Amino acid sequence: MTRPGYILAELGRNFARSPLAAIGSILAVTLLLLLFDLFWIGALSSKQFLGKMVSGVTMEGFVSEEVPDSAVGTIGDVLADIPAVAEFIYISRDSARAELARLVGTDLLVGYDQVNPLPRSFVITLRDSLVTSERLREIDSILTATGKISDIYYNADRIVRSEQTRAIIRRAGLVLGGLIFLSALLNLTNSIRLSTRTRTVGLRQMRLLGAGKIFLSLPFLLEGFLLGGVSAALGWGAVFYWKDRLPLGDLALIVPPLQHIILACLAVACLGLISGYLGVRKAIR
* pLDDT of 250 higher than 80: no
Asked if residue 121 lies in contact with residue 91, where contact means CB atoms within 8 angstroms, the answer is yes
Segment 60-81 shows an average pLDDT of: 87
* pLDDT of 29 higher than 60: yes
Q: Please count the residues of the chain.
A: 285
18 burial type by CB count under 10 A (0-12 exposed, 13-18 middle, 19+ buried):
middle
| pLDDT given at position 266 | 93
Radius of gyration in angstroms for the set of CA atoms belonging to the chain, rounded to a whole number: 32
| pLDDT given at position 259 | 93
- At 126 the three-state DSSP class reads strand
* pLDDT of 14 higher than 70: no
Segment 189-198 shows an average pLDDT of: 77
pLDDT per position as a tens digit, 82-133? 888 888 988 888 788 887 777 777 766 666 666 667 888 999 888 877 778 8
In angstroms, the CA 171 to CA 188 distance is 26
Tell me which residue of 200, 222, 197 sits closest to 274, measured CA to CA: 222
pLDDT per position as a tens digit, 125-163? 888 777 788 888 888 898 888 888 888 888 878 788 888
pTM above 0.75, yes or no: no
Confidence of residue 234 (pLDDT cuts 50, 70, 90): very high
> What average pLDDT does the structure give for the chain?
81
Confidence of residue 1 (pLDDT cuts 50, 70, 90): very low
Most confident of the following: 28-42, 50-64, 210-224: 28-42
| pLDDT given at position 265 | 92
User: Which pairs from 253-260 meet CB under 8 Å and 24+ separation?
Assistant: 253/41, 253/45, 254/41, 254/44, 254/45, 254/47, 254/48, 255/41, 255/44, 256/40, 256/41, 256/44
